[in-house]
Amino acid sequence: MCLGVPGQIKEIYEESGARMGKVNFGGIVKEVCLEYVPEAQVGDYTIVHVGFAITRLDEQSALETLKMFQDMGVLDEELNPTAEADPGLHDNAR
């Protein structure tokens, strides 16, 4: 991820001694490190950058930002690395 993307924490757990969570980014769920936001709880919204939650934010701001990213077409690019691949790479129809 290059952008700080807002998402909602759906689950919190510990893995190898680190506080981790499942975060929902408008329908795409990713595993995220929550060590930098120890106060964050399930249901909270957070900004995630390169796999780390870096701050909490309010729901309205998170939803507005997600909508803007979706409208701009950058959400899939940020959350699905394969979407950035060369489109001709998998095109066998030529």
| Phi-psi map region of 8: left, alpha, beta (phi>0 left; psi -120 to 50 alpha) | beta
User: Which domains are seen in the chain, by residue range?
Assistant: 5-83 (2.30.30.140)
Alpha helices in 1-94 (DSSP H): 59-72, 75-79
- Give the pairing type, strands 45-49 and 52-57: antiparallel
Quote the pLDDT of residue 74.
Answer: 78
* Torsion angle defined by CA atoms of residues 49, 64, 67 and 86, in that order, rounded to the nearest 10 degrees: -20
CA distance 2 to 51: 10
Quote the pLDDT of residue 26.
Answer: 83
Please give the structure tokens belonging to residue 83. 């979407």
Please give the structure tokens belonging to residue 24. 């929902």
User: 10-residue block means of pLDDT along the chain (94 residues)?
Assistant: 83 97 92 97 95 95 88 76 44 37
